[in-house]
A = this chain, B = another copy of it.
Amino acid sequence: MADTPAPARSAGPGASRPAASARSGGPEAAAPRAGGQRRHASRPTMKDVAARAGVGLKTVSRVVNEEAGVSTDTERRVQEAITALGFRRNDSARVLRKGSTASVGLILEDLADPFYAPLSRAVEEVARAHGALLINGSSAEDPARERELALALCARRVDGLVIVPASEDHRYLAPEIAAGIATVFVDRPPGHIKADMVLSESFDGARSGVAHLIAHGHRRIGFIGDQPRIHTARERLRGYRAAMAEAGLPVADSWVALGGTEPDRVRADAARMLEGQGGGEPVTAFFSGNNRVTVTLVRVLAAPERRGRAALVGFDDFELADLLSPPVTVVAQNPADLGRSAAQLLFRRLAGADDEPRTVCRPTRLIARGSGEIPPPR
């Protein structure tokens, strides 16, 4: 990350900025500054506005908060002072007094992952509908980072938290929840703590996806999934095993690979399974545990020498899946819906609901497009 912004073509000439407005009556406050932006200029407060408008502090507060009971004339004078001074209410002070921040936090694995981005956006929309701001952070699948982020958000007194767990133990949140920070888990369940959660039916989804491959004649199916400490990875593997067992098919150890979603790892495991290394016979189909894995498998299977040689069903839908050749059959979740549901559960708590923690399960949907219907060779 050492790359500094390039040698910049400078923008034009002297950006003279008008001097900051005067502070209560005094001389034109802030000293002139360079074209750049100055830091830490002092900001006018309600007190300054009050002085300038010749009214009391509380009157300014009333105007700023649009409370009733201010004469139109007074209001106008206050508004003028606000504009002249460039006043903006300091919400930190307000929060300190009122106790609520009108903001919620969201912690997930990676904001840039195409699965999580819509989830995040959905949470944002619900928050916005409730007049709250969203603060979000990426845990990068690191439990320590999740914890650090969550506690930082708690220190900022967000009203609530939506978390896609990276950690397996959320007892660290107990005091926070006890102190009133509503918390909802999404995509994966929390560890050692009870709270609302929204999950997709990973087990059922994976089972139906694998059953689909079996129905198309496959008997040797590889499973490539995410790290085993991730709940959804385990559940999907469980679904895979269930489908195989239900069909009376054995599962060779070498057909199952859980690990990071780095393309190299996935590629290596896939190659191994296709060659039949590690004990079992070569697989004729893959079930992949999430969209990152699927995308890499698509690349593996697109290589000329492997073209159409193995079937593929992936967990998670993804953009353009239908335009690949073959188009990719998937078990689709609805990430935006997950986010929306989680946020709704959160705001329900914030509205005062204090019944037992709920678990919402969202169904998955098998979308057959082609890659999952390729028959086994011979």
Contact = CB atoms under 8 A, between A and B. Distances in A.
Count copies of this chain in the complex: 2
15 contacts: A1-B129, A3-B171, A3-B193, A3-B337, A4-B193, A11-B358, A33-B178, A34-B354, A38-B180, A88-B179, A111-B117, A111-B120, A111-B124, A112-B118, A135-B135
Interface in A330-363: 336-337, 340-341, 344-345, 348-350, 352-362
A269 B112 CA distance: 31
Nearest to A291: B319
A147 to B, nearest CB: 13
A155 B88 CA distance: 6
A192 interface: yes
A6 interface: yes
A126 interface: yes
Interface in A116-165: 117-118, 120-121, 124-126, 128-129, 133-138, 149, 151-157
Nearest to A43: B179
A174 interface: yes
Contacts of A128: 137
B99 A96 contact: no
The 4 closest A-B pairs by CB, nearest first: A86-B175, A36-B354, A35-B356, A4-B194
Interface stretch (A279-287, A294-302, A370-378): A294-302
Contacts of A68: none
B114 A178 contact: no
Question: How many of chain A's residues touch chain B, expressed as a range?
Answer: 35 or more
A155 B89 contact: yes
A30 interface: yes
A95 B33 CA distance: 25
Interface stretch (A203-211, A233-241, A320-328): A320-328
B356 A179 contact: no
A47 to B, nearest CB: 14
Given A3-B171, A4-B193, 13 more contacts: A4-B194, A15-B357, A30-B175, A30-B178, A37-B183, A41-B180, A43-B179, A88-B151, A89-B155, A90-B155, A112-B120, A133-B149, A135-B135
A3 B194 contact: yes
A185 B215 CA distance: 54
Nearest to A30: B178
Contacts of A354: 10, 33-39
Nearest to A15: B194
Contacts of A33: 178, 354
A195 interface: yes
B319 A299 contact: no
Contacts of A336: 112
A117 to B, nearest CB: 4
Given A90-B96, A349-B36, A353-B36, A2 B133 contact: no
A177 interface: yes
Contact of A20 (B34, B124, B179, B352): B179
